[in-house]
Amino acid sequence: MNLRQDLRNIAIIAHVDHGKTTLVDQMLHHSGTFRDNEHVDDRAMDSNDLEKERGITILAKNTAIKYNDTHINILDTPGHADFGGEVERIMKMVDGVLLVVDAYEGCMPQTRFVLKKALEQKLTPVVVLNKIDRPNARPEEVIDEVLDLFIELGADEDQLEFPVVYASALMGTSGHEPEEQKETMNPIFETIMDNIPAPADTAEEPLQFQITLLDYNEFLGRIGIGRVFRGSIKVGQQVSLMKKDGSISNFRVSKLFGFIGLKRVEINEAKSGDIVAVAGMEDINVGETVTPQDHQEALPIPRIDEPTLQMTFLTNNSPFAGKEGDYVTARKIEERLLTQLETDVSLRVEPTESPDAWKVSGRGELHLSILIENMRREGYELQLSKPQVIYKEVDGVMSEPMERVQIDVPEDYTGAVMESMGNRKGEMLDMINQGNGQVRIIFRAPSRGLIGYPTEFMSQTRGYGILNHTFEDFGPVLPGTVGGRQQGVLVALENGKATTYGIMGLEDRGTIFVEPTTEVYAGMIVGEHNRDNDLTVNITKEKHLTNVRSANKDQTNTIKATRKLTLEEALQYLDDDEYCEVTPESIRLRKKVLNKNEREKAAKKKK
Binding-site annotation, residues for GTP:
17-22, 130-133
- The per-residue DSSP string of 335-361 comes to HHHHHHHHH-TT-EEEE-SSTTEEEEE
Radius of gyration of the chain (CA): 27
Q: Which among 492, 499, 512, 490 is positioned nearest to 544, based on CA atoms?
A: 499
For helices 20-30 and 186-195, the axis angle rounded to 10 degrees is: 100
- Which H or E run contains 220? none
For 550-565, the DSSP string reads PTTTTSPP--PPPPPP
Question: How far is residue 412's CA from residue 311's CA, in Å, rounded to a whole number?
Answer: 37
198 burial type by CB count under 10 A (0-12 exposed, 13-18 middle, 19+ buried) = middle
Specify the 3-state DSSP secondary structure of 403. Answer: strand
* Beta strands 382-384; 357-362: pairing state: unpaired
Neighbours of 81 (CB within 10 A): 27
Please state, in angstroms and rounded to a whole number, the distance separating the CA atoms of residues 63 and 75.
6
CA distance 571 to 590: 12
CA 362, CA 59: separation in Å to the nearest integer?
15
Helix, strand, coil percentages in the chain from 3-state DSSP, rounded to 5: 25, 35, 45
Q: Are 531 and 487 in contact (CB under 8 A)?
A: yes
The number of C-alpha atoms within 13 Å of 141 and in the hemisphere containing its C-beta is 9
Q: How many other CB atoms sit within 10 Å of the CB of residue 598? A: 12
Binding residues: 17-22, 130-133
Alpha carbon distance 351, 535 (integer Å): 34
- What's the CA angle centered on 421, arms 417 and 427, to 5 degrees? 120
Of the candidates 118, 116, 60, the one whose C-alpha atom is nearest the C-alpha of residue 94 is 118
